[in-house]
Every structure is written in structure tokens, then in C-alpha cells.
Structure 1
Amino acid sequence: MSSLDAVTAWVTNYRKAWESNDPRDIADLFAENAAYFTEPFAKPWLGRDKIVEKWLKRQDKPGSTTFEWHPLLVTDDLAMIEATTTYPRKTFSNLWVLRLDNLGQARQFTEWWMRHPDPKK
């Protein structure tokens, strides 16, 4: 089940987990049997424990990014989110597909990320 309030809360908590890299913050985002697709056709990380493990292996340094987002679509079944992530030397456009359960945890999360061209080239 999705609503704009639930999606906003989830993205806020995702950003908190992104900045803290605290295993509890990460785990709280996902249902026990969630699937996290780091790219649309990648093999998903399956289950909360695996998601936490894989996240921590790829974590960003806290304070190293800025993040702006807005919802493109929110229905009872899914949310699509457009975002921009800026690192010190690179910027990415993001598209997220998020499916929340009745508790507001992700049961499925898929991200697309596209690096912006380097303006100096």
C-alpha cells in the first residue's frame, strides 16, 4: 500500500539510512522478504539481512552527497520517484520504483541511476 505520506516517510528514512549506514536504519526500510534491485535487470538482493549486508559493502561516506527528489506517480500499489544525487565530482539522475507493504516498508525497490556527462569534456 502506498500513499504520498508513506512514500515521503520512506524516502526520508532511506536518506537517514544512507547518511548513517546504521544497520537498524537500513533494516527498518525493508520488509523481511523484500527484493532490492540495484539496477533493473540485476539479480536482486533478497531479504532484509542480505539487503543490509550488501548495502554496507557499497555504502557512501556520510555527508558526501546531496539528494533532491519528487514523486512522479503514487498509486495504491507503487510509487515512482525521480531524484538527483550529487557527489563531489559526479551527479546522477535516479528513477526509483517502490512498492510498500501495509507497514510502510519496501517489499520491492528498483533503482535506475544514470551518470550526468562531465561538463568539462
Structure 2
Amino acid sequence: MADAITRWIDDYRRAWESNDPDDIRALFTEDASYRTEPFAEPWDGHIEIVEGWLDARDDPGAASFEWRVVGQDGPQYFVEGVTDYREGPTYSNLWIILLAPDGRAQEFTEWWMEQDADDE
């Protein structure tokens, strides 16, 4: 299943760069839940996820992203990442992704913390 998370993150990056609603929808089950912060109200289902994503979208090429799996519990993955905006801050990320049997996310929760510029 580790290949499943690699495929999913590759597809996430494609959607991140394209902001194409079809690419975004393809990542998630129809009833998926996407939380932009652990305690935020989720975006539920394709309509809310696509709308929320596009409201917060980045321009193509605005950031690089490096990641690694730090844990797995069955179909649930814990991913540590670093997002480096070319003209802005760098963020440490933690993602919790619950994959459905078809490889799409049923649940996605992200934490993003701005790194101190002095630490870069």
C-alpha cells in the first residue's frame, strides 16, 4: 500500500499545480472530509473540497514540496512534508490521510506551521 500513498501524493501535487477541478475531485471519495487544520470545520464532499481548494489555491510553480511517510496504520498514512514557497515562507507540514480501497482519500487533515526564517 506504500505505492498507493506515493501515487496519491503525486496526484495531489498534480492537482496543486493545475488547480483543475477534475484533478482535485480525483483525489477524494465522493463523501470525503478535508480539514485544513485539525479542528477546522471540514470541507465535506467533492463540491466543498473543490470550492475550498480553489479559494485557497497557489499559483502553479509557486512552491516546492518534499515529503516522507513517518507512519502507517493500515490504510491511514502520516506524512511529514516541507513546503517552500519561492517568494514566501517555508512551512513544515503534517498530513494524516485515510485512503479508501480504491486509493482515493476518505479523510485528509493537514497541519502547516511556518518555519522561523532564522532556522532556514
**TM beyond 0.5:** yes
State the alpha-carbon separation in 1 of the partners of residues 2 and 74 from structure 2: 10
The one of 12, 16, 19 equivalent to 1:18 is: 16
Q: Relative contact order (C-alpha < 8 Å, sep 6+): which is higher?
A: 1
After TM superposition, the structure 1 = structure 2 runs for residues 21-100 of structure 1, keeping only pairs within 5 Å, are 21-87=19-85, 88-100=87-99
**Residue equivalent to 2:100:** 101
State the alpha-carbon separation in 2 of the partners of residues 47 and 73 from structure 1: 26
State the alpha-carbon separation in 2 of the partners of residues 118 and 73 from structure 1: 28
- Structure 2 runs not aligned, ≥5 long: none
- Structure 1 runs not aligned, ≥5 long: none
Alpha-carbon RMSD across the aligned residues, in angstroms, is 1.1
Task: Give % identity.
Answer: 47
Q: How many residues align?
A: 118
Structure 1 residues 15-65: Cα deviation after superposition (integer angstroms, max 9, x where no partner): 000000000000000000000000000000000111011101110000000
Task: Tell me the TM-score normalised to structure 1 length.
Answer: 0.94
